[in-house]
Protein backbone atom coordinates (compact mmCIF):
# COMPACT_ATOMS: atom_id res chain seq x y z
CA UNK A 1 0.00 0.00 0.00
CA UNK A 2 0.92 3.62 -0.31
CA UNK A 3 1.51 4.55 3.31
CA UNK A 4 0.76 8.18 2.39
CA UNK A 5 -2.72 7.24 1.25
CA UNK A 6 -4.02 4.48 3.51
CA UNK A 7 -7.63 5.42 2.88
CA UNK A 8 -7.30 4.28 -0.72
CA UNK A 9 -6.83 0.77 0.62
CA UNK A 10 -9.25 -2.08 1.20
CA UNK A 11 -10.52 -2.15 4.81
CA UNK A 12 -9.31 -5.61 5.70
CA UNK A 13 -7.24 -8.32 4.05
CA UNK A 14 -6.24 -11.56 5.78
CA UNK A 15 -4.13 -12.82 2.89
CA UNK A 16 -0.75 -11.18 3.71
CA UNK A 17 -0.73 -12.91 7.10
CA UNK A 18 -1.80 -16.28 5.72
CA UNK A 19 0.64 -16.07 2.83
CA UNK A 20 3.52 -15.90 5.31
CA UNK A 21 2.51 -19.18 7.02
CA UNK A 22 0.79 -20.95 4.11
CA UNK A 23 3.31 -23.82 3.92
CA UNK A 24 2.99 -24.59 7.63
CA UNK A 25 -0.83 -24.54 7.44
CA UNK A 26 -0.82 -26.82 4.41
CA UNK A 27 1.55 -29.31 6.02
CA UNK A 28 -0.63 -29.43 9.12
CA UNK A 29 -3.76 -29.92 7.03
CA UNK A 30 -2.11 -32.83 5.28
CA UNK A 31 -0.94 -34.38 8.58
CA UNK A 32 -4.47 -34.18 9.95
CA UNK A 33 -5.92 -35.93 6.92
CA UNK A 34 -3.32 -38.66 7.39
CA UNK A 35 -4.30 -39.00 11.05
CA UNK A 36 -8.02 -38.58 10.29
CA UNK A 37 -9.12 -37.69 13.77
CA UNK A 38 -11.19 -34.53 13.58
CA UNK A 39 -12.97 -34.02 16.91
CA UNK A 40 -11.64 -33.89 20.51
CA UNK A 41 -8.14 -35.11 19.72
CA UNK A 42 -4.51 -34.33 20.47
CA UNK A 43 -4.42 -31.02 18.54
CA UNK A 44 -7.21 -29.60 20.70
CA UNK A 45 -5.62 -30.87 23.89
CA UNK A 46 -2.27 -29.34 22.94
CA UNK A 47 -3.84 -26.05 21.84
CA UNK A 48 -5.80 -25.76 25.09
CA UNK A 49 -2.60 -26.22 27.11
CA UNK A 50 -0.64 -23.77 24.95
CA UNK A 51 -3.36 -21.11 24.98
CA UNK A 52 -3.82 -21.47 28.76
CA UNK A 53 -0.03 -20.96 29.13
CA UNK A 54 -0.13 -17.94 26.83
CA UNK A 55 -2.96 -16.29 28.79
CA UNK A 56 -1.47 -17.38 32.12
CA UNK A 57 -4.36 -19.47 33.45
CA UNK A 58 -4.70 -23.10 34.49
CA UNK A 59 -7.50 -24.12 32.13
CA UNK A 60 -8.63 -23.46 28.59
CA UNK A 61 -11.67 -25.05 26.97
CA UNK A 62 -11.95 -24.76 23.19
CA UNK A 63 -15.46 -24.14 21.86
CA UNK A 64 -16.89 -23.28 18.49
CA UNK A 65 -17.36 -19.51 18.77
CA UNK A 66 -16.95 -16.50 21.01
CA UNK A 67 -20.71 -16.36 21.50
CA UNK A 68 -20.77 -19.96 22.75
CA UNK A 69 -17.78 -19.21 25.00
CA UNK A 70 -19.82 -16.44 26.63
CA UNK A 71 -23.03 -18.47 26.91
CA UNK A 72 -21.28 -21.53 28.36
CA UNK A 73 -19.31 -19.33 30.81
CA UNK A 74 -22.50 -17.66 32.07
CA UNK A 75 -24.24 -21.02 32.40
CA UNK A 76 -21.28 -22.49 34.28
CA UNK A 77 -21.59 -19.60 36.76
CA UNK A 78 -25.25 -20.52 37.23
CA UNK A 79 -26.59 -17.29 35.73
CA UNK A 80 -30.21 -17.84 34.81
CA UNK A 81 -33.66 -16.40 34.34
CA UNK A 82 -34.31 -13.37 36.54
CA UNK A 83 -30.64 -12.55 37.13
CA UNK A 84 -29.09 -9.29 36.01
CA UNK A 85 -25.71 -9.02 34.33
CA UNK A 86 -23.84 -5.74 33.95
CA UNK A 87 -22.51 -5.12 30.44
CA UNK A 88 -20.91 -2.15 28.67
CA UNK A 89 -23.45 0.10 26.91
CA UNK A 90 -21.40 -0.20 23.73
CA UNK A 91 -20.15 -3.57 22.47
CA UNK A 92 -20.71 -6.17 19.78
CA UNK A 93 -24.17 -7.78 19.82
CA UNK A 94 -22.78 -11.12 21.08
CA UNK A 95 -21.98 -9.78 24.57
CA UNK A 96 -25.60 -8.73 25.03
CA UNK A 97 -27.03 -11.77 23.24
CA UNK A 98 -25.19 -14.24 25.49
CA UNK A 99 -26.84 -12.72 28.57
CA UNK A 100 -30.28 -12.79 26.94
CA UNK A 101 -29.72 -16.36 25.76
CA UNK A 102 -29.26 -17.63 29.33
CA UNK A 103 -32.49 -15.85 30.32
CA UNK A 104 -30.86 -13.01 32.26
CA UNK A 105 -31.26 -9.26 31.81
CA UNK A 106 -28.32 -7.21 30.53
CA UNK A 107 -27.89 -3.95 32.46
CA UNK A 108 -25.87 -1.49 30.37
CA UNK A 109 -23.32 0.92 31.83
CA UNK A 110 -22.03 3.90 29.86
CA UNK A 111 -18.52 3.71 28.43
CA UNK A 112 -15.45 5.92 28.75
CA UNK A 113 -14.94 8.53 26.02
CA UNK A 114 -11.24 7.72 25.69
CA UNK A 115 -11.54 4.02 24.78
CA UNK A 116 -15.24 3.02 24.66
CA UNK A 117 -14.73 0.54 27.52
CA UNK A 118 -17.11 0.19 30.46
CA UNK A 119 -16.80 3.09 32.93
CA UNK A 120 -16.19 1.52 36.37
CA UNK A 121 -17.36 4.69 38.12
CA UNK A 122 -20.86 4.15 36.76
CA UNK A 123 -21.25 0.50 37.74
CA UNK A 124 -22.18 0.70 41.43
CA UNK A 125 -25.33 2.79 40.88
CA UNK A 126 -26.76 0.02 38.65
CA UNK A 127 -26.10 -2.89 41.01
CA UNK A 128 -29.32 -4.41 42.40
CA UNK A 129 -30.11 -7.47 44.54
CA UNK A 130 -30.55 -9.35 41.24
CA UNK A 131 -27.09 -8.51 39.90
CA UNK A 132 -24.93 -11.63 39.58
CA UNK A 133 -22.05 -10.70 37.29
CA UNK A 134 -20.17 -8.03 35.38
CA UNK A 135 -19.00 -8.66 31.82
CA UNK A 136 -15.99 -6.51 30.94
CA UNK A 137 -15.31 -6.19 27.21
CA UNK A 138 -11.84 -5.15 26.03
CA UNK A 139 -13.07 -3.27 23.01
CA UNK A 140 -10.83 -2.68 19.98
CA UNK A 141 -8.02 -4.52 21.84
CA UNK A 142 -7.80 -2.02 24.72
CA UNK A 143 -7.96 -3.56 28.20
CA UNK A 144 -10.89 -2.45 30.35
CA UNK A 145 -10.03 -1.22 33.85
CA UNK A 146 -9.89 -4.68 35.45
CA UNK A 147 -8.45 -3.63 38.85
CA UNK A 148 -11.41 -1.25 39.40
CA UNK A 149 -13.96 -3.78 38.10
CA UNK A 150 -12.56 -6.60 40.27
CA UNK A 151 -12.68 -4.36 43.32
CA UNK A 152 -16.38 -3.56 42.76
CA UNK A 153 -17.13 -7.24 42.13
CA UNK A 154 -15.38 -8.20 45.36
CA UNK A 155 -17.30 -5.59 47.34
CA UNK A 156 -20.69 -6.74 46.02
CA UNK A 157 -19.86 -10.48 45.68
CA UNK A 158 -20.34 -10.53 41.92
CA UNK A 159 -18.77 -12.76 39.29
CA UNK A 160 -16.55 -11.19 36.65
CA UNK A 161 -16.46 -12.43 33.07
CA UNK A 162 -14.03 -10.95 30.57
CA UNK A 163 -15.14 -10.79 26.95
CA UNK A 164 -11.63 -10.98 25.50
CA UNK A 165 -12.77 -11.52 21.90
CA UNK A 166 -11.04 -8.38 20.60
CA UNK A 167 -7.99 -8.24 22.84
CA UNK A 168 -6.09 -11.53 22.78
CA UNK A 169 -2.49 -10.56 23.53
CA UNK A 170 -3.29 -7.43 25.57
CA UNK A 171 -2.07 -7.06 29.17
CA UNK A 172 -2.50 -4.95 32.27
CA UNK A 173 0.79 -4.49 34.14
CA UNK A 174 2.11 -7.63 32.48
CA UNK A 175 -0.92 -9.81 33.21
CA UNK A 176 -2.80 -10.96 30.12
CA UNK A 177 -6.46 -10.09 29.58
CA UNK A 178 -8.51 -13.26 29.79
CA UNK A 179 -6.92 -14.12 33.14
CA UNK A 180 -8.60 -11.59 35.44
CA UNK A 181 -12.22 -12.74 35.58
CA UNK A 182 -13.63 -15.82 37.30
CA UNK A 183 -14.20 -17.14 33.81
CA UNK A 184 -13.41 -15.54 30.47
CA UNK A 185 -14.44 -15.89 26.87
CA UNK A 186 -12.66 -15.26 23.60
CA UNK A 187 -13.31 -15.59 19.89
CA UNK A 188 -11.09 -16.97 17.14
CA UNK A 189 -13.23 -15.50 14.35
CA UNK A 190 -10.80 -15.16 11.41
CA UNK A 191 -10.25 -11.38 11.72
CA UNK A 192 -9.49 -11.53 15.44
CA UNK A 193 -5.95 -11.07 16.81
CA UNK A 194 -5.68 -14.86 16.96
CA UNK A 195 -7.97 -15.98 14.16
CA UNK A 196 -8.84 -19.50 13.05
CA UNK A 197 -9.55 -20.41 9.42
CA UNK A 198 -13.20 -20.61 10.36
CA UNK A 199 -15.19 -20.18 13.56
CA UNK A 200 -13.76 -20.87 17.01
CA UNK A 201 -13.65 -19.66 20.56
CA UNK A 202 -12.31 -20.51 24.00
CA UNK A 203 -12.99 -20.19 27.69
CA UNK A 204 -10.13 -19.46 30.11
CA UNK A 205 -10.27 -19.82 33.88
CA UNK A 206 -8.27 -20.78 36.97
CA UNK A 207 -11.29 -22.49 38.54
CA UNK A 208 -11.17 -26.29 38.20
CA UNK A 209 -14.88 -26.75 38.85
CA UNK A 210 -15.95 -24.15 36.29
CA UNK A 211 -13.51 -25.65 33.78
CA UNK A 212 -14.98 -29.12 34.25
CA UNK A 213 -18.55 -27.83 33.83
CA UNK A 214 -17.58 -26.04 30.61
CA UNK A 215 -15.76 -29.11 29.28
CA UNK A 216 -18.93 -31.13 29.77
CA UNK A 217 -21.27 -28.44 28.48
CA UNK A 218 -19.42 -28.04 25.18
CA UNK A 219 -19.86 -31.76 24.47
CA UNK A 220 -23.47 -32.73 25.21
CA UNK A 221 -22.92 -32.58 28.96
CA UNK A 222 -20.42 -35.39 28.74
CA UNK A 223 -16.71 -36.07 29.15
CA UNK A 224 -16.93 -39.80 28.69
CA UNK A 225 -18.84 -41.28 25.79
CA UNK A 226 -22.62 -41.61 26.27
CA UNK A 227 -22.38 -40.59 29.92
CA UNK A 228 -24.41 -37.37 29.93
CA UNK A 229 -24.14 -35.70 33.31
CA UNK A 230 -25.79 -32.40 32.47
CA UNK A 231 -27.51 -30.54 29.65
CA UNK A 232 -25.18 -29.09 27.10
CA UNK A 233 -24.38 -28.15 23.53
CA UNK A 234 -22.39 -29.36 20.60
CA UNK A 235 -19.77 -26.61 20.76
CA UNK A 236 -16.38 -28.17 20.23
CA UNK A 237 -13.33 -26.53 18.68
CA UNK A 238 -12.41 -29.02 15.97
CA UNK A 239 -8.96 -30.54 15.38
CA UNK A 240 -8.28 -28.62 12.18
CA UNK A 241 -8.99 -25.24 13.75
CA UNK A 242 -7.03 -26.16 16.89
CA UNK A 243 -4.07 -27.20 14.72
CA UNK A 244 -4.16 -23.98 12.67
CA UNK A 245 -4.49 -21.93 15.86
CA UNK A 246 -1.41 -23.67 17.33
CA UNK A 247 0.61 -22.49 14.35
CA UNK A 248 -0.68 -18.92 14.63
CA UNK A 249 -0.22 -18.87 18.40
CA UNK A 250 3.56 -19.29 17.90
CA UNK A 251 3.63 -15.92 16.14
CA UNK A 252 1.05 -14.14 18.27
CA UNK A 253 3.42 -12.22 20.54
CA UNK A 254 5.31 -10.91 17.49
CA UNK A 255 2.05 -10.08 15.73
CA UNK A 256 0.75 -8.13 18.72
CA UNK A 257 3.99 -6.10 18.83
CA UNK A 258 3.58 -5.42 15.09
CA UNK A 259 -0.06 -4.39 15.64
CA UNK A 260 1.02 -1.88 18.32
CA UNK A 261 3.65 -0.34 16.03
CA UNK A 262 1.32 -0.34 13.03
CA UNK A 263 -1.52 1.30 14.94
CA UNK A 264 0.76 4.14 16.11
CA UNK A 265 2.20 4.57 12.63
CA UNK A 266 -1.19 4.63 10.89
CA UNK A 267 -2.75 6.98 13.43
CA UNK A 268 0.02 9.48 12.79
CA UNK A 269 -0.39 9.14 8.99
CA UNK A 270 -4.17 9.54 9.22
CA UNK A 271 -3.80 12.55 11.53
CA UNK A 272 -1.37 14.20 9.15
CA UNK A 273 -3.51 13.62 6.06
CA UNK A 274 -6.76 14.59 7.73
CA UNK A 275 -5.42 17.52 9.80
CA UNK A 276 -6.15 15.85 13.15
CA UNK A 277 -9.88 16.07 12.56
CA UNK A 278 -10.56 12.55 13.81
CA UNK A 279 -10.57 11.60 17.50
CA UNK A 280 -8.85 8.24 17.81
CA UNK A 281 -9.55 6.04 20.81
CA UNK A 282 -6.54 5.89 23.11
CA UNK A 283 -4.58 2.66 22.70
CA UNK A 284 -2.72 1.78 25.88
CA UNK A 285 0.91 0.66 25.57
CA UNK A 286 -0.23 -2.87 26.54
CA UNK A 287 -3.23 -2.96 24.17
CA UNK A 288 -3.38 -5.54 21.40
CA UNK A 289 -4.96 -3.25 18.78
CA UNK A 290 -7.68 -5.10 16.88
CA UNK A 291 -9.63 -2.32 15.17
CA UNK A 292 -8.35 1.19 14.43
CA UNK A 293 -11.25 3.14 15.83
CA UNK A 294 -12.04 6.84 15.79
CA UNK A 295 -14.90 9.27 16.16
CA UNK A 296 -15.61 11.27 13.03
CA UNK A 297 -17.95 13.92 14.42
CA UNK A 298 -17.42 16.18 11.38
CA UNK A 299 -18.27 13.51 8.83
CA UNK A 300 -14.99 13.97 6.96
CA UNK A 301 -14.83 10.25 6.13
CA UNK A 302 -18.38 10.04 4.88
CA UNK A 303 -17.34 9.72 1.23
CA UNK A 304 -15.25 6.59 2.02
CA UNK A 305 -17.02 3.30 2.41
CA UNK A 306 -15.69 2.50 5.86
CA UNK A 307 -17.41 0.30 8.43
CA UNK A 308 -18.55 1.27 11.89
CA UNK A 309 -17.88 -0.92 14.92
CA UNK A 310 -20.66 -0.37 15.90
CA UNK A 311 -23.56 1.74 14.57
CA UNK A 312 -25.72 0.90 17.62
CA UNK A 313 -25.59 0.75 21.39
CA UNK A 314 -27.30 -1.52 23.94
CA UNK A 315 -30.37 0.76 24.02
CA UNK A 316 -31.05 -0.22 20.41
CA UNK A 317 -31.03 -3.93 21.34
CA UNK A 318 -33.23 -3.29 24.36
CA UNK A 319 -35.79 -1.78 22.04
CA UNK A 320 -36.12 -5.29 20.53
CA UNK A 321 -37.15 -6.62 23.94
CA UNK A 322 -39.21 -3.61 24.98
CA UNK A 323 -36.81 -2.81 27.85
CA UNK A 324 -36.64 0.87 28.89
CA UNK A 325 -33.69 2.90 27.64
CA UNK A 326 -30.73 3.60 29.92
CA UNK A 327 -28.84 6.90 30.04
CA UNK A 328 -25.81 6.15 27.81
CA UNK A 329 -24.65 9.44 26.26
CA UNK A 330 -21.08 8.30 25.49
CA UNK A 331 -22.24 4.97 24.04
CA UNK A 332 -24.81 6.84 21.90
CA UNK A 333 -22.05 9.13 20.63
CA UNK A 334 -19.89 6.15 19.61
CA UNK A 335 -22.88 4.55 17.90
CA UNK A 336 -23.44 7.73 15.90
CA UNK A 337 -19.91 8.79 14.99
CA UNK A 338 -17.59 5.77 15.26
CA UNK A 339 -15.66 4.80 12.10
CA UNK A 340 -13.00 2.07 11.66
CA UNK A 341 -10.03 2.71 9.42
CA UNK A 342 -8.08 0.21 7.28
CA UNK A 343 -5.74 -1.72 9.63
CA UNK A 344 -4.35 -5.23 9.34
CA UNK A 345 -1.03 -7.04 9.43
CA UNK A 346 0.76 -6.60 6.14
CA UNK A 347 -1.12 -3.44 5.16
CA UNK A 348 2.09 -1.45 4.71
CA UNK A 349 4.45 -3.88 3.05
CA UNK A 350 1.81 -5.04 0.57
CA UNK A 351 2.48 -3.98 -3.06
C1 LIG B 1 -16.65 -8.22 21.76
C2 LIG B 1 -17.06 -9.49 21.09
N3 LIG B 1 -17.70 -10.43 21.82
C4 LIG B 1 -18.08 -11.60 21.28
C5 LIG B 1 -17.84 -11.89 19.95
C6 LIG B 1 -18.39 -13.15 19.40
O7 LIG B 1 -17.45 -13.96 18.78
P8 LIG B 1 -17.90 -14.99 17.63
O9 LIG B 1 -18.13 -14.21 16.38
O10 LIG B 1 -16.72 -15.92 17.53
O11 LIG B 1 -19.13 -15.69 18.11
C12 LIG B 1 -17.16 -10.94 19.15
C13 LIG B 1 -16.80 -11.16 17.75
O14 LIG B 1 -17.41 -11.51 16.85
C15 LIG B 1 -16.79 -9.71 19.73
O16 LIG B 1 -16.18 -8.77 19.01
**From the CB of 342, is ligand 1 less than 6 Å away?**
no
* CB distance 137 to ligand 1 below 6 Å: yes
In this structure, are 168 and 232 located in the same domain?
yes
Whole-angstrom Cα Rg for the chain: 20
Question: What pLDDT, in 10s, does the model give residues 118-135?
Answer: 999 999 999 999 999 999
Last residue in a domain, options 247, 279, 307: 247
Give the pLDDT confidence score for residue 2 in this predicted structure: 57
Between the CA atoms of 207, 213, 216 and 221, what dihedral angle is there, to the nearest 10 degrees?
Answer: 180
Write down which residue in 186, 215, 247 finishes a domain. 247
Query: Does 280 share its domain with 171?
Result: no
The confidence score (pLDDT) of residue 351 equals 40
> Does residue 91's CB lie within 6 angstroms of at least one atom of ligand 1?
yes
Together in a domain, 305 and 228: no
Q: Among 298, 259, 307, which residue's Cα sits nearest to residue 275?
A: 298
Same domain? 231 vs 99: yes
- As a whole number, the mean pLDDT across the chain is 95
Determine the distance separating the centroid of ligand 1 and the alpha carbon of 5, expressed in angstroms.
30
Note the pLDDT of residue 1. 52
187 Cα–ligand 1 center, Å? 6
Ligand 1 centroid to Cα of residue 186, in Å, is 7
- Quick check: CB of 95 below 6 Å from ligand 1? yes
CA of 142 to the centre of ligand 1 (A): 15
179 in contact with ligand 1, CB cutoff 6 A: no
Are the C-beta atoms of residues 335 and 325 closer than 8 Å to each other? no
Query: pLDDT digit string (tens) for 137-151?
Result: 999 999 999 999 999
CB 292 within 8 A of CB 267: yes
Find the 34 Cα to ligand 1 centroid distance in Å: 32
Question: Is 89 among the domain residues?
Answer: yes
pLDDT of 164 > 80? The answer is: yes
The pLDDT tens digits for 285-339 are 999 999 999 999 999 999 888 999 999 999 999 998 999 999 999 999 999 999 9
Residue nearest to atom 12 of ligand 1 (CA): 165
- 178: CA distance to ligand 1 center in Å? 14
Q: Are residues 180 and 328 in the same domain?
A: no
Cβ 194 under 6 angstroms from ligand 1: no
Q: Give 179-230 pLDDT, tens digit per residue.
A: 999 999 999 999 999 999 999 999 999 999 999 999 999 999 999 888 999 9
Note down the domain range covering 287. Answer: 251-341
| Residue closest by Cα to atom 8 of ligand 1 | 66
**Residue after which a domain boundary falls, among 227, 247, 267:** 247
The residue-averaged pLDDT of 170-185 equals 98
**Atom of ligand 1 minimally distant from the CA of 187:** 10
The total domain count for the chain is 2
Q: Is 348 inside a domain boundary?
A: no
Which ligand 1 atom is the nearest neighbour of the CA of 70?
4
- Give the mutation target among 12, 88, 91, 94 for probing the ligand 1 site: most ligand atoms within 8 A of CB: 94
Q: 276 and 188, same structural domain?
A: no
CA of 347 to the centre of ligand 1 (A): 23
- Do 195 and 98 fall into the same domain? yes
Tens of pLDDT, residues 16-72? 999 999 999 999 999 999 999 999 999 999 999 999 999 999 999 999 999 999 999
Instruction: Name the residue of 63, 64, 67, 196 whose CB sits within 8 Å of the most ligand 1 atoms, as the mutation to test its pocket.
Output: 67
Distance 185 CA to ligand 1 centre (A): 9
Question: Does residue 7 surpass a pLDDT of 60?
Answer: yes
Find out whether the beta carbon of 108 lies less than 6 Å from any atom of ligand 1.
no
CATH number of the CATH domain containing 154: 3.40.640.10
Q: Is residue 186 domain-resident?
A: yes
Residue 301 sits in a domain whose CATH number is 3.90.1150.10
> Within a domain: residue 165?
yes
Query: Could you tell me if residue 1 is inside a domain?
Result: no
Whether residue 27 is contained in a domain is answered as yes
Three-state SS for the chain is CCCCCHHHCCCCCCHHHHHHCHHHHHHHHHHHHHHCCCCCCHHHHHHHHHHHHHHCCCEEEEECCHHHHHHHHHHHCCCCCCCEEEEECCCCHHHHHHHHHCCCEEEEECECCCCCCECHHHCHHHCCCCEEEEEEECHHHCCCCHHHHHHHHHHCCCEEEEECCCCCCCEECCEECCCCCCEEEEECCCCCCCCCCCCCEEEEECCHHHHHHHHHHCECCCCECCECCCCCCECCCCHHHHHHHHHHHHHHHHHHHHHHHHHHHHHHHHHHHCCCCCEECCCCCCCCCCCEEEECCCCCCCCCCCCCCCCCCHHHHHHHHCCCCCCCHHHHHHHHHEEEECCCCCCCCCC
Domain match, 34 and 121 both: yes
Ligand 1 near 187 CB (within 6 A):
yes
Q: Tell which atom from ligand 1 comes closest to the C-alpha of 192.
A: 13
Same domain? 310 vs 167: no
12, part of any domain: no
Note whether 243 and 281 are same-domain residues.
no
Distance in Å, CA 136 to ligand 1 centroid: 13
Considering the domain architecture, whether residues 219 and 298 belong to the same structural domain is answered as: no
Same domain, 329 and 198: no
- Answer yes or no: is the C-beta of 189 below 6 A from any ligand 1 atom: yes
Does 56 map to a domain? yes
| 4, pLDDT greater than 70 | no
pLDDT band of residue 277 (cuts 50, 70, 90) is very high
Amino acid sequence: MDIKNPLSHTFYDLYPLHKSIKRELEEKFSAIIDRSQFILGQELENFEQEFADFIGVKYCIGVNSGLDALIISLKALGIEHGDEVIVPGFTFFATWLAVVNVGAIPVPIDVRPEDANIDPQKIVERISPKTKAIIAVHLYGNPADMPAILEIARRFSLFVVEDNAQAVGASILGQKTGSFGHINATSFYPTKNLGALGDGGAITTNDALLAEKCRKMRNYGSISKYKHEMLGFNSRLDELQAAFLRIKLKYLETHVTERRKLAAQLISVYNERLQNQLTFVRYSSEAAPHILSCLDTKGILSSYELPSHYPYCINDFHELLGIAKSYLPVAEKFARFQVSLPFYLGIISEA
